[in-house]
Structure 1
Amino acid sequence: MAHARRYFIDALEDDRNRAEHALQQIQLLYEIEQHCTSQQFDYNTRKDYRLEKAVPVLSALGIWMTDQYAQVLPKSPIGQALAYSIKRWAKLSLYARTGNLLPDNNLIENSIRPIALGRKNHLFAGSHEAAKRSAMLYSLLGTCKMHRTNPTEWLADVLAIVAEYPVNKIKDLLPHNWKPTQN
């Protein structure tokens, strides 16, 4: 949803009325999410609230975009914003029928931003295999951050036990499943 929103922001100079309408509706969706977060809704309550509040907004906005697209030039900024969103609308709206998905992937994008910014510095990992290992480590440490797991404690514990750990239970050592061992 954040990318769709960005297209409408870019279209403000081209067609302020249409772009502002779309942005206002998207803002309503984010206000619904903010309410769910501030009320600390569990997944089921969040899903029910979204079905009641967000799905009607998404449905109306989807219909409005389709109607508006027929009235604009496809190559114009507003035409591109509408086309981008219409093409992806079913997927962009899917989150509202669940309690566990988010309307955008900003959390993930923010967590990998340091990696993207340092991409030039990582061009010389030594080998393709070294680059793959670095990427895995970044993913694991990013998962620690997302799940509020102390990466130093996690890594120290996992490295101490992984060699003797049963292979069929290795997923238990992933940051989101990990329980510290009692040594």
Structure 2
Amino acid sequence: MMRRLFEWVDENIQAQAFLPSNPFLKALGYIQERKDGLMVYLDDPDVPIDTNHVERVIRAIPMGRKNGTFCWTELGAQQIAIVQSLLATCRLHDVNPYDYLVDVLQRVGEHPQARVHELTPRVWKTLFADKPMRSDLHHAHGGIKDAG
């Protein structure tokens, strides 16, 4: 059904029956420009209709931008951005950031490079979250309270 809609949109744009300033033509162009994203949404029922959930999670990143001015170097600011992105992704997937970072930082040296995607918060949650690697501090002090 939707494929037919996109075909109809393409046909009407190619027909050039409207002036470029016509609002209908602009609407068709809008649909045509977003075809790939719309198809992902329509083909996968797990894809949300909007990105509001992501925008809420990353709201803290612009707030931390001012702190980035104290990073001394551009590389330092980039590293902070990477960490903020990881933390936001952890929150997005209901992963405890402390458990995630402790586990991944211990695991990364021995984890196969070809499977590095397994260390992203989303995949890590399904593979390692049930039994995360712990730091020596965790074991020495009978566990560390939730850092959330």
Q: For structure 1, which runs of at least 5 residues remain unmatched after alignment?
A: 1-55
User: What CA RMSD, in Å, does the superposition of the two structures yield over aligned residues?
Assistant: 3.5
Which of 96, 103, 108 matches 2:42?
96
Partner of 1:181: 133
TM-score of the pair, normalised by structure 1: 0.49
More helix by percentage: 1
Q: Decide whether the 8 Å contact of 2:102 with 2:133 is kept in 1.
A: no
Name whichever of 143-152 and 100-109 sits farther off: 100-109
Which residue type is aligned with residue 95 of structure 2? T
Partner of 2:99: 153
2:110 & 2:76 partners in 1: Cα distance? 25
SS at match of 1:118: helix
% same residue: 27
Distance 1:157 1:86, change over 3 A: closer
Partner of 2:54: 108
TM-score of the pair, normalised by structure 2: 0.58
SS at match of 2:20: coil
1:83 aligns with 2:83: no
Partner of 1:43: none
Higher relative contact order (CA 8 A, sep 6+): 1
SS at match of 2:121: coil
Distance 1:173 1:87, change over 3 A: closer
2:59 & 2:23 partners in 1: Cα distance? 27
Q: Deviation of residue 82 (structure 1)?
A: 2.6
1:77 & 1:122 partners in 2: Cα distance? 44
Residues 1-183 of structure 1 aligned to structure 2 (within 5 Å): 56=1, 58-59=2-3, 61-63=5-7, 65-66=9-10, 72-75=18-21, 78-115=24-61, 117-118=62-63, 121-122=66-67, 124=69, 125-159=71-105, 161-162=106-107, 165-168=109-112, 171=116, 172-176=118-122, 177=124, 178-179=128-129, 180-181=132-133, 183=139
Q: Decide whether the 8 Å contact of 1:112 with 1:142 is kept in 2.
A: yes
Q: Deviation of residue 131 (structure 1)?
A: 1.5
Distance 1:99 1:142, change over 3 A: same
Q: Deviation of residue 175 (structure 1)?
A: 2.3
Q: Deviation of residue 151 (structure 1)?
A: 1.2
